[in-house]
Amino acid sequence: MRPEQWEIFKKAARLEKLDKTPLALIIDSPWIPGYLGINHMDYYLDPELWFQSNLKIHQEFPDIIFIPSWWMEYGMAAEPSALGTKIKFWENNTPSEFHTLFRIEDIDDLPKYEVEHDAFMALTLHRIRMQKQRILDHGYTLPIVTSRGPLCTAGFVRNTTNFMMDIIEKPEWAHKLIDLSTNLIIDWLKAQAKAMGNTVEGIFILDDIVGFIGEDDYQEFAHPYLKRICDAFPKDWIKIYHNDADINACLKHLPDCGFNVLNWGKQTDIAEVKNSVGDRICLMGNVNPLEIGVQGTPQEVFDATLDVLEKSNGEGIILSLGGGVSPGMPRDNIVALQQALDEFNSK
What pLDDT does residue 2 have?
98
Q: Give me the CATH number covering residue 83.
A: 3.20.20.210
DSSP H helical ranges for the chain: 3-13, 32-36, 40-45, 47-60, 78-81, 119-137, 150-158, 160-169, 171-196, 215-221, 223-231, 254-257, 270-277, 298-312, 331-346
What pLDDT does residue 175 have?
98
Cα 190 to chain centroid, rounded: 17
Domains in the chain: how many in total? 1
What pLDDT does residue 115 have?
98
> Which residues are CB-neighbours of 339 under 8 A, at least 6 positions away?
302
CA distance 118 to 81: 8
What pLDDT does residue 264 have?
98
The stretches in the chain having pLDDT less than 70 are: none
What pLDDT does residue 302 have?
98
What pLDDT does residue 99 have?
96
Domain residues for 51? 3-346
What pLDDT does residue 128 have?
98
